[in-house]
Structures are given as C-alpha cells and as structure tokens.
Amino acid sequence: MAETRVTSSTLLEHQRLSNEVPQAGIAREEFGQRNNRRLGDVLQRLPGVQMGGPPGQPQDIQLRGLDKEFTRTQVDGVRLPDGGEKREFQVNRIPSFLVEKVTVIRNQTAEYESDGLAGQVDVKTRTVPKGKPQAEARLGYGGHDDGLDGDIIHGSLGFGYRPVDWFGGSGAFDYQDNTVVRPKFKLFSTGKTEDENETGRQESTNFFGDLATFYDGGEFHFKPMVLELDKDTTKTKTVREKGKVATQENEHEDALQSTYGLGLSHRHTFKQGSVWESRAGFYQSEEDKDKTKPVFKETKLNSGLFALDKTTLEKEDKQDKTWDVASSLRTPFTLGLPQELKFGVAFRQRERDRGKLAQEVSKAGKLTNATKPKDKYALEETYYAAFIQDNLWFTDRISLMPGIRAEHVALLSATGDGANASKNTTDLNPSLHFLYRVRDDLSLRAAFSKSLSRPKFDELSPFEQDDGNTKIVIGNPDLDPARSWNFDVGGEYSIADLFFAINLFHKEVSDVIEEVDTGVNRGTKDIFQVENVGDGWTRGIELEQRLGLGWTGLDALSGVKLWANETLLESELTDKTGKQRPFKNQPRFLTNAGVDYNYAPWGTTFTLAWNYIPEQWEDKPDGTAKAILPSSTFDLSAYQHIYKGFSAFAEINNLTDEHRAENEYAVNGSTSSEKVETYGRTFLAGVKWQF
C-alpha cells in the first residue's frame, strides 16, 4: 500500500506531500549551486533555523529560536560524538560537498530518538551512484575584505562507481585552509574600553567513504569517515580605563578537533515486502587544546610601555568514544485496514573524559595550579531504546501513525578528585501523526509527540568549585532531562512552479535546566547549582514559499525561482523565582529570502540569498541582561558553464559587510557596554568539474 503513495518527483518539497512527519529540507540539486562550503551554510537558509557560533562561521544549530542544547544532529542515522558540552555537533566541521541532503525533523515519530526537544537535523551523505561512474571536483581560491589574497583555499573531490551488479563504492574528500581576521571593540558606560584583534587559521581535512556489496534483495555498506579541524588562533586584547594602568593580553591557542569512525549497515527486503535494516559502528572524537596567555601591564599610567605581569598556561584533552547498534523491521500487512508495522531496538554506549590543567606563572616565576574541579570529569552513559509504530491507511489518502518509544539511560559520573555518582532515567514517549492527502498536490497533517533534552555533560559530574569571593558552584549528577509535549499542525501545496507550506507548532516544556542561587550560603558565599527549575512554552508559525516563473512562457524567465521562508516565534519561561521571561536569545521572527536564476542557453546560474534576524535577549543568572542587535546578511554566487562538465564560479559571503553588535546591562542599571565584532566579506572563485 505504501508504494502507491510515493511520488516520482526528486524535489524534497514534493516528497513531503506523502510523508507523515512534519519536516523541511534541501537536497544537493539546490544547495550545490549556492555558496555553501560547510553544512552550517546550508542549514542557515532553512525555515526555523538559526545558527550560532563566531560571526561568519555558522556552527551551532538553534531550531525554533531555542538554544543549541535543545537540538540534536545525526549523520546517516548516527549521533556522532563531538567536543561540545551541550551535546551539540558543530556542523561547520562537515563540508557540504560530502552531503546528499539535509532534513529538519520538526516533530519526530517513535522511530527517532527522543533527545532533541527543539527538533532534529538528519544528514545523509553521498551514496553509491547507479549506472555510469560519476566524478566531481571543485577548487576555489579566495580571501576576505582584500579580495582574492589567498586567505582561503578550498578543494573537493568525489567519485562513485558500481562496476558490477554486486559491488560498488564512493568516496568524497574535502580540504579547506581559511585564515580569518576578526576585530572586536567593547565600550563601557564608565569609559572603559576593550580593543581586541583575533587572527585565526583553520585547516580542515575530511573524508566520507562507502564500499557496498549488493545481492538479490539486500545490500551491505562499509562506511569509514574522518573529520579533522586544526585551529591556530592569536588574540591581542588591550584594556584601558580612566585612572588605571592599561593591560594587554596576548593569547595563543592551538586546537585540534578530530572525529573518525567506521559504520556498517545492512538492508534486506523480503519477498512479501518486509524490510529489515541494521547498523553498527564505532566513533571517536578527540579535542586537544594548548593555550598560552601572557598578561602585560603598563609600567606607569599612560606611559604606553608594558611589562609582563603573569602568564596563564592551559592544556586540555577531551575524548569521546561511542559504540552504536540499532536494528528495525518494517512489515506491511492487512488486518481490517492496510497497515505497516515498524519496530526496533537501539543501543549506544558513550564514554567521555575531559582533563584540563591550568597553571599561572607570576612575573617572579612562581607557578600556581589554577585548575578548577569542573575542568576534569569522566562520564559513562549507556542508552537502551525500543520502539513500535503502526501506519494505518483508512483510505489511499488518509493515514494515521501511532507509536511509542521506551528509552533507558544509565549514567556514571566522576570528578578528577575521585567523587562519583550514578543516575538512571527511564522515559516512555508516545507519538501520533496524521496525514491527509487532499489531492496529489495538497497535503494536511497533524502531529503529537513527547520528547526531551538531556543535560550538559559538564553539569553532571559531582564537582564543587569556588568561583571567586562571593560564589560557589556545585555540579548536579541528579539532573533530569528537560521534557516537552509537542504539537504541530500544517500542510503543503506543491506543483511545478509553486510551493507553499505552513506549520503551526506549540511546545509545553518542563524541567528546564538553569544555574540558580540555591538560597544556601557557606559563610559569605552564595551556593549556585544547575537545577531543573523552569517550566514554560514556546510556539510559532513556519511559512515557506517558492515561485518559479516558468509559467510566464518567457524564455528569459523560465529559469527564475523566487523562494522565502519566515518563522514567527514567542515563548514564556517561568524560573525558580516565579519570574516570567522568553527563552534566552529567542528572536521574535526569522526570515530568509532569495532568488535562483538558471539561464540554460548560456549555462549561467546565479543566486542571491538574504537572511535577517531581529534583536535577541538573554537574562543571565547574575541579573545581567544581554541584547544581540539585529543582523541582515546577503550572500551572492554565480556559476558559468565553460565546456562540457567544466564551469567557473564566484561567491561572496556577507556582501554588505554586516557587523555583529551586542549590548549588556548590569543588574543595578549603573553600567552598560557595547561590543562590535567585525568579520568582513568573504570572496571565493574557482572551477568545478563533473561528469
């Protein structure tokens, strides 16, 4: 029964018409011709997506205006380990060249892992092609504000071939060398200034492979992967304040992030239509950082001469190992109604160790250990899951998919000084998804599910840390996940030259995790702890539009496609004190718009994309309020066919030279600050070859 509902269209937006899961996505046919070197560049144009990270380097996914701690990312079904404490995966580490398609799952069914209450990002890498061998190569040379000065070198190579029916393979390699200069200036209402200049070189080497064997009814895949990012950063910061000697910090950090692993997958289709899918894999993430920060002070007021005051040395090693196993069976049958039952199990064990040594050397050469208890911990998290869901078709156009997922997590945590703790958590998360294909080009759907977001890693160890003269912070291994009841209602209309989608969502969130003042004092110091203290809600409307001008009948306009998406957001969080406020850094709306133009007679492709994010606010635990001011960015790309499979391209990011600006306001209202961070334009030009 399910086979009759699959459309032959290759457009993801048209395929959505027959899918019960509320989602949005984009495939290589679209993002491959835009200036999207990294996966973060691709994601930031999707509805409801906001990217965090350094300006100009979108790396942290924030869905529906919620913090990155509420979003999860999976690559080919696997949640890859990474160094982030909030369980996030930094998507700027994955080149878009290695990706086939990206989907944002807005309201998951029982077959998806429950962790990720804001939503989940599903990334599919390039697959083994059928038929003739396929190859693609791309080489770019570029720079920043000064134009093509060699600050950016980017090369990619991909190949896939199935020479015989029973065997094939593909591989994709990507290399990028990028130098970034990022000046920052911060002005306080007291007249104090912080002038910082950051220069960083980032070199990344990445590979995804797929060796496959095929037999009648099934296939095995052997998938190695390597992601490596080497960052060398230098920061110089000068602080000046009236009546005080100036200080200068010269910080140098060398950091290496690597994730590598091997995945095995199997798929078998039985003669009666049942499909059995399994996977197993091992993945390891490592992050090594070495930081040196000498601090200088003026020898006397306004002299302009600096002498060494102290030096801070930091060395951090972080390792994350993940074993992943899953298996599921999908089988069609008829029992009163045509149905498709799917059930499965999953297991994952994750071992995470963080070790950090901080030392301070005085100007006299005295060495002091400045390592904090939170800097060292070890975690072992074991995850078990089972699910069952049934898709029932009342007619060819109306279906209902109930399901339930059971998850159990066993956590062992320990600090560097030997303190340890354990915690077990079990959840039963139901889901119900409804789809009505009103016509072949129009679908309506509704979805309900329960999901959660597990705590940050560094909050789960039983540490106790003295953070200064007035504050002690303690860990909380007894934290529960934040949980959410999720409701989505919407639909899509899709024909050749027109697409429109609307989705309304509401989330009832409980047990939000925040650092709070416990009200307990130790002497003159307040004790702070991360606790489950907040309940609230968030809701919004997600809109998508695409208009092709082929209907005009004019050859010059036949390749024009106008597209846009808008997300309207609001939320309310009630904290421990009873204060009500929006979730931190949630904007009131998000907007993307653009035009893709392909003039076939000349082989010319042109894209202009615009992104706008209004003001965002965050209320910090100490009472400080921070506002990130609105930003508006334009990106431009053009491709020109030259001969057969060869073409030339040019790309400009941040065309209007937008800056990032922040304002902070102290709790007593007596002081404030303004910070402006400049990241400039990015230029890249090169050639592309494919056959």
Say what the pLDDT of residue 118 is: 96
Among 512, 518, 457, CA closest to 481: 512
**What is the percent of the chain with per-residue pLDDT over 90, rounded to a whole number?**
73
Q: Is 476 exposed, middle or buried (0-12, 13-18, 19+ CB in 10 A)?
A: buried
Decide if pLDDT at 59 tops 60: yes
**DSSP string for residues in 193-259:** EEEEEEEEEEEEEEEEEEEEEEETTEEEEEEEEEEEEEEEEEEEEEEE-TTS--EEEEEEEEEEEEE
Decide if pLDDT at 666 tops 50: yes
Say what the pLDDT of residue 198 is: 93
Say what the pLDDT of residue 373 is: 83
Decide if pLDDT at 218 tops 90: yes
Say what the pLDDT of residue 669 is: 67
Please state the rounded mean pLDDT for residues 215-230: 96
**Strand pairing of 646-653 and 659-665?**
unpaired
Our measurement of the distance from residue 290's CA atom to the centroid of its chain's CA atoms, rounded to an integer in Å, reads: 25
Decide if pLDDT at 117 tops 60: yes
How does pLDDT run across 32-54, given as a tens digit for each residue?
A: 888 888 899 999 999 999 998 87
CA distance 100 to 31: 10
CA angle 399/387/433 to nearest 5° reads 25
Decide if pLDDT at 73 tops 90: yes
Say what the pLDDT of residue 523 is: 78
Say what the pLDDT of residue 519 is: 80
CA distance 636 to 475: 47
| Sign of the dihedral defined by the CA atoms of residues 83, 87, 91, 92, in that order | negative
Q: Give me 503's structure tokens.
A: 């989705």
| Cross-strand pairs, 672 | 665
CA distance 665 to 618: 11
Report the SS3 class of residue 463: coil
Which superfamily does 2-690 belong to? Answer: TonB-dependent receptor, beta-barrel domain (2.40.170.20)
For 53, left (φ over 0), alpha (ψ -120 to 50), or beta?
left
Domain boundaries, the chain: 2-690
Say what the pLDDT of residue 621 is: 65
Q: Give the helix/strand (H/E) hosting 41.
A: helix 39-43
Please state the rounded mean pLDDT for residues 413-439: 93
How does pLDDT run across 589-645, given as a tens digit for each residue?
A: 999 999 999 998 899 999 999 999 999 988 776 678 889 999 999 999 999 999 989
Question: Which residues, in sequence order, are CB contacts of 163 under 8 Å at separation 6+?
Answer: 133
How does pLDDT run across 257-272, given as a tens digit for each residue?
A: 999 999 999 999 999 9
How does pLDDT run across 462-494, given as a tens digit for each residue?
A: 888 887 667 888 889 999 999 999 999 999 999
CA distance 145 to 652: 10
Decide if pLDDT at 1 tops 70: no
Q: Give me 171's structure tokens.
A: 């591989």
Kindly report which listed range (44-58, 197-211, 384-398, 439-453) carries the lowest average pLDDT score. 44-58
Query: What is the rounded average pLDDT for all residues in the chain?
Result: 92
